[in-house]
Amino acid sequence: MMAKLVVTLVGVAAITWVNWYFLIAGRRSRNS
Amino acid sequence: MTSVVTIPVTGMTCAACSSRVERALQESPGVESANVNLMTSEATVSFSPAATSAETLVAAIRSTGYGAELPVAEHSEHHRHETDDLRLKLALSLVVAVLVMLLPMVVAPSGALRYLLLGLTLPVIGWAGRSFFTRAWQAFRHHSADMNTLIAVGTGTAFGYSAAVTLAAGWFTRHGIPPQVYFEAVVWIIALILLGNHLEARAKGKASEAIRRLIGLRPEEVRVMRDGREVTVPLQTVQVRDEIVVRPGERIPVDGVVLSGRSSVDESMLTGEPVPVEKGPGAAVTGGTLNELGVFHFEATRIGERTVLARIIRLVREAQGTKPPIQKLADRISAVFVPVVISLAIATFVIWFDIGPEPAYLHAMVAGVTVLIIACPCAMGLAVPTAVMVATGRGAGIGVLIKGGDVIELASNADLVLLDKTGTVTEGRPRVEAVHGLKDSTGMLQLAASVEHGSEHPLAQAIVMASQAAGLQLEPVRDFRASPGRGASGLVAGRRVLVGNRQLLLDQGVPLEPVPGETVQRGTVVFVAIDGRVAGWLVIGDPVKPTSSTAVRDLKSMGLEVVMITGDNQATAASVAAEVGIERVFAEVLPEHKRDAVLRFQREGHIVAMVGDGINDAPALAQADVGIAMRGGSDVAIEAGAITLMQNDLTGVPRALLLTRRTLRVIRQNLFWAFIYNLVGIPIAAGVLYPSFGLRLSPAMAAAAMAISSISVITNSLRLRHA
């Protein structure tokens, strides 16, 4: 159960990071 | 001052790659514009030489992880080297892929087998597939992601896990996890993607055949008269004004004018027109065309990059790199596509891990990797450029020069064709058919021709020719003034002579004389006024081209509205229109007002294709959504229109429009299939069919599906070669 919770949380964090890194930070670095 | 350089770029495999290189160049200081063509693997950069250099631009491209060399003549050599390298990598991967697939079938699973598979996979991932990883890393550092990212993350995950299982099998077994490896998936994915790249490289080669064919039209050696003797010299050493000898069956090396001799010349390679053209002294010849039976000498007038052939090659090359607006949609989508796919892959992993069957993490990893692999947006990146490239190449082959992808999209949407009459519907080589002097016809013709001698207007030339045919001497003219669309005036032997239409006479306050109706029907009436009084008129006819009515019929059958526009009088315009089957005519329109006519149709909501000869209707051609210039006698037209017809008749117009319509249809089909493929493929890879049907894809199957989708897009585009 614990493993599932950890994987889910890590997964959500990873998705957030991927979208931030490529879309938001990417756009910012391209505009700068 | 601006310099333009074309830099060959290696390693680009998708639209995201080319847009990244393009962006890097655009951000580089001193660059005014940069356009990267995925299909020709070339970057065309305009830059200010004071602020940057070609070397800096090459460095900027390299910083994005792609290869770039300074432009050298041996670009094709360079390209071949890349293809050979790719073929070797593909061969190795395929051999290893078969071995890695067969070995576990004949050898019982053991630690030794796993080590053997690892050993076989290493060169594939470390050498053949290495470029995917380096490019993915470069992209990552620039906060961007492309298909290399998907491949690298997918194969990297599968390989990393399998290598861990091989090296620490004991640990996995102790924890109740079967020591399952996925080397075959890694190798198959790399092999299939390399196969896709290889096929794409071949398609690029085929599409640039059109350009190679044009370049091949230049002979390497030329016979030139030097000091009265005929010598053979390399083409590069030919100078303007050189006298060149052409023997039967030889290609004409450069553009020029025939000095002596006669022959027929096959110009089909440039015009698509199969009937050879007779050439005698004074006739213009074009480099690249084929001499048939006669021998002739000609004087070179244009050499090197200034020849018609060189300009065509340049235009086709530039056109193949331009992007139609529909491409922007594909670019926008692929920019957000990869992060979305990575997110989906992570979500897939989490869901399989949380609610999937045991061993959950194994299924989760396989499903996640499969999502990454199936989503490679190669097909999407290929959808538009392959079609544009093949269509422009095909166009050049049938005498239709299309200046770019944007032109294809606009032309295919055109719903109204505006035809300029003179030189387009008609021959454009007007002839004086009647001279009607109120007192002295010959004297009037002589004065009119003397004035018109200085004008290049086709009607003026007809008058001059008529006077020459009558053996009249021309008088010197002073104070020559041309009024565009009206006529010309000048002082000849102390008399003020006006030659022009009714409007010119009205402007100058000359009282008009009535002209019989049947005269007006026969052609354009040109009035001649001497010292403020009408002396008579000339009737100038311009025969309709034999192919014009067929072309008009074809255009109408394509659902296009056909309108004719001319500076000529109502009666002449109406009779020409009736002859070719056009109902709507605008007559007596001055050249500067032709543009307004185009504008008016555009305001009515029409997408206008304007067809003209590119000389006096250049503003209208530019205003039209699609300017179609007919080369006719002049070479000005090559640059004047968005589409240039090398053949001097109207049938090229339906042919050109049909080609653009077919091309846009192929582009739409390509995009549709590329999207559908992802829309259907990703959920299946994620396992949506598993709960109800137990159906899942393996990563290797996903790689095969991806390769198939790329191949289907390329094949679809190549159909245009026969359009």
Whole-complex ipTM: 0.93
3-class secondary-structure state, position B224: strand
Q: What is the mean pLDDT of residues B46-72?
A: 78
Residues of B in contact with A12 (CB under 8 A): 350
Q: According to the model, what pLDDT value does residue B377 have? A: 58
Question: Is residue B52 within 8 angstroms of chain A, CB to CB?
Answer: no
Q: What's the predicted TM-score (pTM) here? A: 0.64
**B8-17, B32-41, B513-522: lowest mean pLDDT where?**
B513-522
Higher per-residue confidence, B534 vs A32: B534
- Is B420 catalytic? The answer is yes
pLDDT at B607 over 70: yes
Question: Is residue A1 within 8 angstroms of chain B, CB to CB?
Answer: no
| pLDDT tens string B560-578 | 999 999 877 788 888 889 9
Mean pLDDT, chain A, rounded, equals 83
Instruction: Search chain B and give the residue with CA nearest A32.
Output: B27
Mean pLDDT, chain B, rounded, equals 83
| pLDDT tens string B110-143 | 889 999 999 999 999 999 999 889 988 888 887 8
pLDDT at B388 over 60: yes
Nearest to B143 among A8, A12, A26 (CB): A26
Q: What is the mean pLDDT of residues B20-37?
A: 85
pLDDT at B558 over 90: yes
pLDDT at B710 over 90: no
Q: According to the model, what pLDDT value does residue B638 have? A: 63
Determine the residue among A1, A4, A6, A7 to mutate to test chain B binding: the one whose Cβ has the most chain B Cβ atoms within 10 Å: A7
pLDDT cut 90: percent of chain B above it: 19
Task: Evaluate whether A23 touches B339 at the Cβ level (below 8 Å).
Answer: yes
Q: Identify which of B160-164, B391-395, B573-577, B654-658 has the greatest average pLDDT.
A: B654-658
Nearest to B339 among A3, A18, A30 (CB): A18
Q: How far is CA B90 from CA B21, B157, B193, B196, in A?
A: 25, 21, 9, 10
CA separation for the pair B683, B43 (Å, rounded): 37
Instruction: Search chain A and give the residue with CA nearest B345.
Output: A15
Determine the residue among B334, B343, B361, B371 to mutate to test chain A binding: the one whose Cβ has the most chain A Cβ atoms within 10 Å: B343
Cα dihedral: B277, B279, B283, B284 (round 10): 60
The catalytically annotated residue of B146, B420, B554, B617 is B420
pLDDT at B345 over 60: yes
Q: What is the mean pLDDT of residues B658-684?
A: 88
Backbone dihedral region of A24: left (phi > 0), alpha (psi from -120 to 50 degrees) or beta?
Answer: alpha
Yes or no, beta carbons of B143 and A29 under 8 Å apart = yes
pLDDT at B314 over 80: no
Band the pLDDT of B74: cuts 50, 70, 90. Answer: very low
Question: Is residue A20 within 8 angstroms of chain B, CB to CB?
Answer: no
Question: Is residue A9 within 8 angstroms of chain B, CB to CB?
Answer: no
Q: According to the model, what pLDDT value does residue B73 have? A: 43
Instruction: Search chain B and give the residue with CA nearest A9.
Output: B350
| pLDDT tens string B263-285 | 888 877 666 565 677 888 888 89
* Residue B406 main-chain phi, psi, to 5 deg: -65, -35
A-to-B residue pairs, Cβ atoms closer than 8 angstroms:
42
Q: According to the model, what pLDDT value does residue B66 have? A: 83
CA separation for the pair B140, B144 (Å, rounded): 5
Instruction: Search chain A and give the residue with CA nearest B360.
Output: A4
Determine the residue among B19, B346, B358, B361 to mutate to test chain A binding: the one whose Cβ has the most chain A Cβ atoms within 10 Å: B346
CA B254, chain centre distance (Å) = 24
